[in-house]
Amino acid sequence: MRVLGVDPGLTRCGVGVVDSARGRRAELVAVGVIRTDPELSVDLRLLRIAERLDAWFDEHVPDVVAVERVFAQHNVGTVMGTAQAAGIAMVGAAKRGVPVALHTPSEVKAAVTGSGRAGKEQVQRMVAGILGLAEPPKPADAADALALAICHLWRPAGALQGGERHELTAAQRAWAAAEHAAKGRRAPR
């Protein structure tokens, strides 16, 4: 399975692509940050993000897109820009029929570090270790995008949006079946 992780942001939008590998491993395909100029109007900044995300979709052809679930922060302006960038990523996926999964920041941190309260540096170090990188990905937005993708590879059940519209991949079905069997329930189809 190939996952495109998106850490949404209006000024810096982290993007990372990972492939699943044997033994519950992940392999780095690509990582980067889409930057926009704060001096531009919001509509032009969103257009820039949409254009660059389209290029990532076309180049890497993901099976699923993992986007950070936007949560309320104290700074409403930051929340708005983050939500707008997340929406652009979700629309880009929907245009291509690619399922979208939303993961909370604490879920992502827990998946890659074992603690939902891990700091940015710890996430960066763990992402580097998981992917076998010599150095942690920088900036933190890039590492967060990779962490989102890794989280989805390891915890896909129940995160997909769109309900009946999207079918689970074979890997997601196997993961869901194993999770449900461990909990003594039947897996969804």
Binding residues: 7, 68, 141
Task: Give me the catalytic one of 27, 54, 58, 68.
Answer: 68
Q: Is 63 a catalytic residue?
A: no
Q: Which of 7, 39, 63, 164 is catalytic?
A: 7
CA-closest candidate to residue 83, choices 69, 103, 62? 69
- Let me know if 6 is exposed, middle or buried by CB neighbors in 10 A (0-12, 13-18, 19+): buried
Q: In the β-sheet with 64-68, what is the strand arrangement from edge to edge?
A: 25-35, 12-21, 2-7, 64-68, 100-103
Annotated binding site for Mg(2+): 7, 68, 141
Helices and strands, counts by H and E, the chain: 6, 5
| 37 annotated active-site | no
Which of 63, 141, 164, 179 is catalytic? The answer is 141
| Residue among 177, 153, 152, 163 at smallest CA distance from 67 | 152
| Phi, psi (deg, nearest 5) at residue 170 | -60, -40
Catalytic residue status for 121:
no
Beta-carbon contacts of residue 92 (< 8 Å; ≥ 6 apart) = 50, 53, 54, 57, 65
Residues catalogued as catalytic = 7, 68, 141
